[in-house]
Amino acid sequence: MTNKWMIAGAAAVLAGAGLATVVSAGPAAAQPCSNAVVFGNGGGRCDSLPGPDGTFQRCDTVYVLGIGGTNCYQVPVGPPPT
């Protein structure tokens, strides 16, 4: 029973850290690809070259125990909406 609470607590801390990162994030900018998969777990992010208007396509990849996939979306220019 204690292990379940420890795992839940660790997940809550990681989720809180992720929210803090999202809140303090600045304007989006295209970054080089970064992917890592170890024993079927991992993932990464890859951005396309910016278009004439500054927007670019970002693809996020996630794998857990060999199951996962990729999600691609268009990133607009400028600060995030409030």
For the chain, which residues make up each domain, given as ranges? 2-75
Please name which of 60, 61, 59, 58 lies closest in space to residue 40, comparing C-alpha atoms.
61
Block mean pLDDT (10 aa), the chain, length 82: 51 46 50 75 89 91 90 86 70
Residue 37 has φ and ψ, to the nearest 5°, of -130, 120
Per DSSP, which regions of 1-82 are E strands?
34-38, 41-47, 56-64, 67-75
- Give residue 19's pLDDT: 39
